């Protein structure tokens, strides 16, 4: 299950993706539009800035903005940045592997085999979806720099 922090990060990024290329957006505007506590949002946006998804500009006309095209930022990237492991069990994590304390034999563990399938299916979806996929129908989506015209 996604934490509230990750859900809010995705909501804020959805908003910023819809404004991509229009310049910085005030935290207060994101917080009000997405119904997120401004104080909580500040810490989330700082984490996304450290993860090099966002940047910010101070002063008049300042705020936060995406530094990557929203077509290029996958939900997998964001999930790992905010939430950490995608795998449902530590023993099947690709990046955060740890043996399970209560497992007698990882090689024959049937739970591990099933959870590997769950992890792979979830990873496939999260890698294929980008911030653009979060923008609702009817809202103009920024063009991708990746598409040859």
Q: What is the pLDDT along the chain (149 residues), one digit of tens a residue?
A: 889 999 999 999 999 999 999 999 999 999 999 999 999 999 999 999 999 999 999 988 889 999 999 999 999 999 999 999 999 999 999 988 999 888 888 888 999 999 999 999 999 999 999 999 999 887 777 777 654 44
Is there a domain that residue 134 lies in?
A: no
The structure's pTM equals 0.86
CA dist 26 to 36, 40, 50, 78, Å?
13, 14, 18, 21
Element (H or E) spanning 64, and its range? Answer: strand 63-66
Structural domain of 85: 75-128
State which of 70, 85, 105 marks the end of a domain: 70
pLDDT of residue 149: 40
For residues 62 and 104, membership in a common domain is answered with no
Element (H or E) spanning 123, and its range? Answer: helix 110-128
DSSP notation for 91-102:
GG-SSS----TT
For residues 86 and 63, membership in a common domain is answered with no
For residues 8 and 66, membership in a common domain is answered with yes
For residues 123 and 101, membership in a common domain is answered with yes
Which DSSP category does 68 fall into?
Answer: S
Q: What is the CATH number of the domain that holds 61?
A: 1.10.10.10
* Token digits of residue 92: 């099947």
């Amino acid at each position: 299950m996604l934490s509230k922090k990750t859900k809010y990060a995705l909501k804020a990024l959805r908003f910023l993706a819809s404004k991509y290329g229009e310049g910085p957006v005030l935290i207060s505007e994101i917080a009000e539009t997405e119904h997120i506590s401004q104080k909580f949002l500040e810490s989330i946006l700082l984490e996304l800035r450290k993860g090099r998804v966002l940047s910010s500009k101070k002063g008049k006309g300042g705020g936060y903005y995406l530094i990557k095209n929203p077509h290029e930022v996958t939900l997998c990237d964001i999930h790992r940045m905010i939430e950490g492991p995608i795998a449902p069990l530590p023993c099947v994590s690709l990046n955060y592997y740890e043996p399970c304390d209560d497992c007698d034999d990882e090689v024959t563990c049937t739970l591990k085999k099933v959870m590997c399938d769950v992890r792979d299916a979830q990873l496939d979806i999260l890698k294929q979806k980008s911030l653009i996929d979060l923008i609702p129908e009817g809202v103009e989506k920024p063009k991708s720099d990746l598409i040859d015209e």
